[in-house]
């Protein structure tokens, strides 16, 4: 149960950080006209296709005592980031970044540009336009981004193993715990936790689709049917 609580704590923290970082990044990706924007898009999407062990390896190297991040952390806090909960949070933020940013970008891009123009000529600056028009109309995307980043972090394995190892109460998340039980031939325990994750994932997806359907209908349908 400790591992489950640790996973939930990790996922909540990562989702909150990604929400704060992801919104401005997604806004920039959706509206910037910079020609080399595709480079940033590719970097953000990398964790989608990169094997978690590869990502985990590079993050581990960066966090190690010889890596730039590790050296900085060592100088500031007296220890490296590898095999700590903070290191796990940083790695998970990188790993789940596209799951937050991509739904947000898609939602922001979906908002009718003429609404943004209308907001501007009515005297609203970009910040007000974002909070009064773009964000409310992107609510399904925001919910999807939050739920997906949370669920993806809960279920991550490869990156956690590479960066965090398997320290009970510190870095042993629920997926590592399942792996441990299987290695020890404790199938009953592994099955119980696996079933829990399976149900959790199913409920999360139901929430995403159900909420989006409800909000989408409330926001748009009367508008479209007239």
Partner 1 sequence: MVTMANEMNRPALAARIRKERHNPGHPSFTLDIEFEIPAGFTILFGPSGAGKSTVLDCIAGLLRPDRGHISVDGTILFDDRSRIDLPSHTRSVAYVFQNLALFPHMSVEKNVTYGLVNLPKPQRAAKAREILQAFHIENLASRKPGEISGGERQRVALARSLVTSPKILLLDEPLSALDAELKTSIIADLRAWNSARQIPILYVTHSSEEADALGERTITLDHGKIAQQQ
Residues binding partner 1 (CB under 8 A): 112, 114-115, 117-125, 128, 132-133, 136-137, 219-226
Taking the C-alpha atoms of residue 159 and residue 59, their distance in angstroms, rounded to an integer, is 9
For 123-131, which contacts have Cβ atoms below 8 Å and span 24 or more sequence positions?
A: 130/27
- Based on CB atoms, which residue is closest to partner 1, 2 or 112? 112
- Based on CB atoms, which residue is closest to partner 1, 137 or 197? 137
* Residue 171: CB minimum distance to partner 1, A: 43
DSSP assigned state of 36: T
- Based on CB atoms, which residue is closest to partner 1, 124 or 194? 124
- Based on CB atoms, which residue is closest to partner 1, 51 or 136? 136
Which two three-digit tokens encode residue 59?
Answer: 């993050």
Taking the C-alpha atoms of residue 120 and residue 4, their distance in angstroms, rounded to an integer, is 47
99, 45 contact by CB (below 8 A): no
* Residue 215: CB minimum distance to partner 1, A: 10
- Based on CB atoms, which residue is closest to partner 1, 7 or 144? 144
* Residue 77: CB minimum distance to partner 1, A: 45
What is the three-state SS of 154-186?
Answer: HHCCHHHHHHHCCCCCCCCCHHHHHHHHHHCCC
DSSP assigned state of 84: S
* Residue 33: CB minimum distance to partner 1, A: 12
- Helix boundaries (H) for 32-173: 37-49, 52-63, 68-77, 85-110, 113-121, 126-129, 135-137, 139-155, 158-164
Which two three-digit tokens encode residue 110?
Answer: 């979906």
* Residue 19: CB minimum distance to partner 1, A: 21
Taking the C-alpha atoms of residue 57 and residue 55, their distance in angstroms, rounded to an integer, is 5
- Based on CB atoms, which residue is closest to partner 1, 117 or 191? 117
- Based on CB atoms, which residue is closest to partner 1, 115 or 195? 115
Task: Find the helix packing angle between 139-155 and 187-225, rounded to 10°.
Answer: 170
* Residue 120: CB minimum distance to partner 1, A: 4
* Residue 117: CB minimum distance to partner 1, A: 5
């Amino acid at each position: 149960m400790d591992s489950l609580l640790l996973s939930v704590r990790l996922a909540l923290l990562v989702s909150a950080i990604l929400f704060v970082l992801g919104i401005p990044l997604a806004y920039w990706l959706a509206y910037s006209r910079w020609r080399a924007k595709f480079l940033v898009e590719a970097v953000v999407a990398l964790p989608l296709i990169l094997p978690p062990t590869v990502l985990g390896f590079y993050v581990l190297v960066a966090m190690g005592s010889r890596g730039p991040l590790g050296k900085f952390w060592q100088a500031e806090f007296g220890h490296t980031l590898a095999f700590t909960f903070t290191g796990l949070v940083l790695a998970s933020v990188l790993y789940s970044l596209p799951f937050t940013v991509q739904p947000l970008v898609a939602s922001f891009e979906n908002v009718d540009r003429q609404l943004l123009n209308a907001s501007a000529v009515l005297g609203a600056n970009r910040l007000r336009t974002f909070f009064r028009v773009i964000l409310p109309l992107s609510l399904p995307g925001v919910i999807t981004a939050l739920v997906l980043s949370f669920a993806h972090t809960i279920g991550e394995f490869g990156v956690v193993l590479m960066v965090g190892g398997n320290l009970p109460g510190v870095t042993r998340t629920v997926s590592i715990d399942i792996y441990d039980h299987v290695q020890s031939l404790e199938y009953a325990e592994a099955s119980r936790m696996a079933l829990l994750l399976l149900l959790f994932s199913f409920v999360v997806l139901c929430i995403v689709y159900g909420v989006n359907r409800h909000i989408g209908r409330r926001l748009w349908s009367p508008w479209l049917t007239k």
